[in-house]
Chain A
Amino acid sequence: MKSGSNLERVLSAGHFSVTAECGPPRGADPDVVREKAAYVKDNVDACNVTDNQTSVVRMSSLAGCMLVRETGVEPLIQMVVRDRNRIALQSDLLGASALGVRNLLCLSGDHQKFGDDPQAKNVFDIDSMQLIHMVKTMRDEGVFPSGEKLEGAPKFYIGCAVNPFADPYDIRVPRLKLKIDAGADFVQTQCIYNMETFIKYMEDAKKEGLHEKIKILAGVTPLKSAGMAKFMNRMVAGIDIPEAVIKRIADEPKEKQAEKGIEMCIEQIHELKEMEGIAGVHVMAIEWEEKLNEIIGGAGLLPRPVIE
């Protein structure tokens, strides 16, 4: 075991894994996290805690992780390279590991332009690829990137993210390969709506044997309404929702669209479960955590396995 995390154990045992995410609040109220975590509990193998996503200031990811863990859910800390240089990143990695966080997701982070503080200075001292490499060096070699020996190496199951729907398409699989080379153990994808593109992406990844080198967790986000689908498709860079998907939910009367969104999500998870090379799903029920049990249960993924 590299980290001994529950997520690592479940995936190593060959189970189809489930992760979800909790966005920390825009304030210091810990109960917001506790409430979300209560919905997540028992439905997942680990729960991502986002790091100032879309550059909007929120409670820190590490604090969120501690609150999630307090509720009995295994946390997965997201870490973006936008806001911290390598000194701060190393320090926070050590701190997170010391506090018992065992899963990590290495990200670039959205540009600060999208948040409340578009005038902020960004950092990007190292990129997400190099962050993966840095954590792996610290974990496996017990040294800082500078070569100095660590007093106790951080233990992380190292994750990365990929967006199969960003451009140019033909660099997407080579870029995943780079992340594997850098040291990623698992990958969570951007939310998938265009299954056709995703199937092609998986075929290309499998040709390179990548599914055997990394655990691939397919990202899904249930649609709440046709309006949300249209908004995401238009406004969120790198999200691709085909017309047919939008039409399917738009054809329902407004009050039934949420229900339809959940049905479509469950259907999609069933389909993903059958795909070779998919090791699990990452369910991003954005501000809709209360539906996680229904979705994950509906997909036949409960109860979650317990592996000692």
Chain B
Amino acid sequence: MITGTPKPIEELLEMLEPYENIIVAGCFGCVTVCRVGGDKEVQVLSSTLRLAREAKGKNLQIREVCLERQCDPEYLELMRPYLEEYQAVLSIACGAGIQFLAEKFSKTPILPGINTGFLGVTERQGEWTERCQGCGDCVLHLTGGICPVTRCAKSIFHGPCGGSVEGKCEISKDVKCGWQLIIDRLKSLDQMENYGKIKPYKGWDSSRDGGPRRILREDMI
């Protein structure tokens, strides 16, 4: 899922300073699952903002909504009938949702309520870790199902580097060495022959480096 973290409340209050009547918009997609932008978070954030503003003697009217997804146009359209009544939308969806809102509604300021994080997994309640950078050229079949681009701090293809100690990365004792994980897994799969080959330079053009990406599926259009 796409993960994220709430923006500090002071930052949001500063962002909302010019407005008195806004929409706080959540999303029932990824951000609901990682508890940063769902229906509940809309309620808590709206209450928090109202209380903070009222304590300073400045009211803030909030319409609380949570869309099925902010990354699909048909759900965004549901906001159109009432959007003009509000001065701004504070979206706590991921960066994709926030931008899509901005794109669809050209006359309303759209503000980010969260900092979008990474494509990750739930380790346990309250802990998420990164797994994929969406580089567009998957090599997981060669690396035991563990991604060197994401899991290695240097994204190297022939690791581990000299900074790998007792399974930990040189950047922090809290970070596992991605290449130690790859090697452990290759060994348990009896696929160490994959290690002994020099891999071609990675084509980062399928990644973000190639410019904003597009997937076009002719068969579906």
Contacts and interface: CB of A to CB of B under 8 A. Distances in A.
Interface string B157-186: 111111111110011100001001001100
Contact of A111 (B153, B166, B195): B153
Given A111-B170, A111-B171, A82 B154 contact: yes
B210 to A, nearest CB: 13
Chain A's interface size range is 35 or more
Contacts of B204: 125
Contact of B154 (A122, A130, A162): A122
Contact of A126 (B160, B171, B177, B202): B202
A271 B21 CA distance: 79
Q: How large is the interface on B (under 10, 10 to 19, 20 to 34, 35 or more residues)?
A: 20 to 34
A130 B155 CA distance: 13
B162 A124 contact: no
Interface of A: 82, 86, 108-111, 113-114, 122, 124-130, 133-134, 145, 161-163, 166-168, 171, 174-175, 177-178, 181-182, 190, 237-238
A168 B160 contact: yes
Contacts of A190: 162
A178 B198 CA distance: 7
A126 B201 CA distance: 6
B160 A166 contact: yes
Contact of B163 (A129, A133, A237): A237
B180 A111 contact: no
B156 interface: yes
B155 A166 contact: no
Nearest to A171: B183
Contacts of A114: 170
A161 B163 CA distance: 12
Contact of B162 (A166, A174, A181): A166
A238 B196 contact: no
Interface in B118-175: 153-167, 170-172
18 contacts: A108-B161, A122-B154, A125-B204, A126-B202, A127-B154, A127-B156, A128-B156, A128-B161, A129-B158, A166-B162, A171-B160, A175-B158, A177-B196, A178-B158, A178-B196, A178-B198, A237-B164, A238-B163
CB-based closest 7 A-B pairs: A163-B162, A127-B156, A129-B158, A237-B170, A237-B163, A166-B162, A238-B162
A174 B195 contact: yes
A127 B162 contact: no
B161 A166 contact: yes
A114 to B, nearest CB: 8
Of B158, B170, B177, B184, most A-chain CB atoms within 10 Å: B158
Nearest to B197: A178
A130 B171 contact: no
B198 A182 contact: yes
Instruction: Identify which of B162, B196, B201 gathers the most chain A CB atoms within 10 Å of its CB.
Output: B162
